């Protein structure tokens, strides 16, 4: 077990969606020395910036959350960028952390690393049994290399690094940018804006048959911190909720929470992405006692309410500025 009051923790991506929740979870446990590197100060694609970070923060533990990431549209538009950025950040950071004597490295992978056609529920043993879904393969494979590196450095150097595989996340603080956001925030925003404009329909990608599993961001943060405390092996570990839902049912649920009563048009010229995603989460419970606790419908309600409040505050600030 880790005594958090004695740790110097670096959380890359700590100002982002998941990272801000991880920082709060660490603070609740008594971690006082937490360093969050900002991209404008430390471009982690550059080795020199990584060396500066390690010298400035002198961490005993690194939780590597920083990533170039987005939904299907963003992955299709930026495959090279997503591959290069994620590979360079992860590979160099883990290597230089080992060189600098950082005691533990927590690498965060992605469910996109799994093969396109993986038996349901996804088990960690299936990770190498096929190629990932094409629309996000460059991103998934770049993150997957952290698993290879983690296992290689443990084998050769005895380095204590771990690799976690969170499923799709959602919750307050997510990005609602329609160009780059994931499915839940994108659909929430579409429904709310269509309702406000009095539109009778919205357009959704694919045919709605694909399924996804979603993990509330606070649960994900708890799982990451528990693994940081208790898990010290390089076998990959899924972080999920155990709840699978079709995109069609998801959109109907979001429409209910946002009050959108219009028609849903499915654009079948757009890709569905991976046909199904649902994780087996036994390993996370067996290895470090993690189970998700947030009911999906309740988590979705909180996310919708957060977005409404954020929009209202933004409009009020804009009106005040004009006044």
Per-residue pLDDT, 292: 98
Q: Is residue 205 part of a domain?
A: yes
In the structure, what pLDDT confidence band is assigned to residue 275 with cuts at 50, 70 and 90?
Answer: confident
Average pLDDT over residues 158-180: 91
* In the predicted structure, residue 290 carries a pLDDT above the cut 90: yes
Please check whether residue 126 is in contact with residue 143, taking contact to mean a CB–CB distance below 8 angstroms.
no
Share of the chain above pLDDT 90, in %: 84
Per-residue pLDDT, 249: 96
* In the predicted structure, residue 258 carries a pLDDT above the cut 60: yes
Per-residue pLDDT, 276: 86
Q: Is residue 323 part of a domain?
A: no
Domains in the chain: how many in total? Answer: 1
* In the predicted structure, residue 49 carries a pLDDT above the cut 80: yes
H/E element, 11: strand 8-12
pLDDT in tens, 180-218: 677 899 899 999 999 999 999 999 989 999 999 999 999
CA distance 169 to 174: 9
Average pLDDT over residues 168-174: 93
Q: Is residue 95 part of a domain?
A: yes
Per-residue pLDDT, 75: 74
Domain that holds residue 222: 4-318
Residues serving a catalytic function are 139
Q: What order do you get walking across the sheet with 61-64 strand by strand?
A: 33-35, 8-12, 61-64, 104-108, 161-166, 237-239
pLDDT in tens, 73-90: 777 888 999 999 999 999
Q: What angle do CA 117, 123, 129 make, to 5 degrees?
A: 45
CATH number at residue 19: 3.40.50.720
Cis ω on the peptide bond leading into residue 121 (within 30° of 0)? yes
**DSSP state letter for 46:** S
Q: Is residue 124 part of a domain?
A: yes
Q: Greatest CA span in the chain, whole angstroms?
A: 64
* In the predicted structure, residue 313 carries a pLDDT above the cut 90: no
Beta bridge partners, 245, equal: 212
Per-residue pLDDT, 272: 86
Mean per-residue pLDDT of the chain? 93
Q: Is residue 225 part of a domain?
A: yes
The 10 Å Cβ neighbour count of residue 107 is 24
- Name the residue with higher pLDDT: 313 or 308: 308
Q: Is residue 211 part of a domain?
A: yes
CA distance 60 to 225: 15
Q: What angle do CA 289, 25, 169 make, to 5 degrees?
A: 75
* In the predicted structure, residue 312 carries a pLDDT above the cut 90: no
Average pLDDT over residues 244-261: 95
pLDDT in tens, 110-161: 999 999 999 999 999 999 999 999 988 999 999 999 999 999 999 999 999 9
The whole model's pTM is what?
0.92
- Name the residue with higher pLDDT: 59 or 78: 59
Per-residue pLDDT, 76: 84
Per-residue pLDDT, 180: 67
Per-residue pLDDT, 187: 92
In the structure, what pLDDT confidence band is assigned to residue 223 with cuts at 50, 70 and 90?
Answer: very high
- Name the residue with higher pLDDT: 87 or 315: 87
Let me know if 263 is exposed, middle or buried by CB neighbors in 10 A (0-12, 13-18, 19+): exposed
Q: Which of 7, 59, 13, 60 has the alpha carbon at shortest distance from 29?
A: 7
Q: What angle do CA 291, 75, 85 make, to 5 degrees?
A: 85
- Name the residue with higher pLDDT: 62 or 277: 62
CA distance 65 to 293: 22
Q: Is residue 162 part of a domain?
A: yes
Phi-psi region of 198 (alpha: psi -120 to 50; beta: other; left: phi over 0): left
Per-residue pLDDT, 36: 98
* 3 state DSSP class of 54: helix
DSSP code string of 180-236: T--HHHHHHHHHHHHHHHT-SEEEEES-S--EEEEEEHHHHHHHHHHHHHH----S-
Please check whether residue 85 is in contact with residue 33, taking contact to mean a CB–CB distance below 8 angstroms.
no
């Amino acid at each position: 077990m880790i005594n958090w009051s004695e740790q110097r923790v670096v959380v890359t991506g700590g100002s982002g969606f998941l990272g801000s929740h991880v920082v709060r979870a660490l603070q609740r446990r008594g971690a006082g020395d937490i360093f969050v590197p900002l991209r404008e100060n430390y471009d982690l694609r550059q080795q020199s910036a990584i060396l500066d970070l390690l010298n400035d923060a002198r961490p005993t533990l690194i939780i590597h959350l920083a990533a170039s990431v987005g939904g299907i549209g963003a992955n299709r538009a930026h495959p090279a960028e997503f591959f290069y950025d994620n590979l360079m950040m992860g590979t160099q950071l883990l290597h230089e952390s080992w060189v600098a004597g950082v005691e533990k490295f927590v690498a965060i992978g992605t469910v996109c690393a799994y093969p396109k056609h993986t038996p349901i529920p996804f088990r960690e043993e299936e990770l190498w049994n096929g190629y990932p879904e094409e629309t996000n393969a460059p991103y998934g494979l770049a993150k997957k290399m952290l698993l290879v590196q983690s296992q290689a450095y443990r084998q050769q150097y005895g380095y204590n690094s771990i690799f976690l595989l969170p499923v799709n996340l959602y919750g307050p603080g997510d990005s609602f940018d329609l160009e780059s956001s994931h499915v839940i925030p994108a659909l929430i925003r579409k429904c709310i804006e269509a309702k406000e404009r009095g539109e009778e329909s919205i357009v959704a990608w694919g045919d709605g048959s694909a399924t996804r599993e979603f993990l509330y961001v606070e649960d994900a943060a708890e799982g990451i911190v528990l693994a940081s405390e208790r898990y010290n092996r390089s076998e990959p570990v899924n972080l999920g909720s155990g709840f699978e839902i079709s995109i069609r049912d998801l959109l109907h649920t979001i429409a209910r929470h946002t009050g959108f009563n219009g028609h849903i048009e499915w654009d079948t010229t757009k890709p569905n992405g991976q046909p199904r995603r649902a994780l087996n989460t036994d390993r996370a419970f067996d290895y470090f006692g993690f189970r998700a606790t947030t009911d999906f419908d309740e988590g979705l309600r909180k996310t919708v309410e957060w977005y409404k409040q954020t929009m209202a505050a933004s409009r009020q600030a804009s009106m005040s500025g004009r006044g």
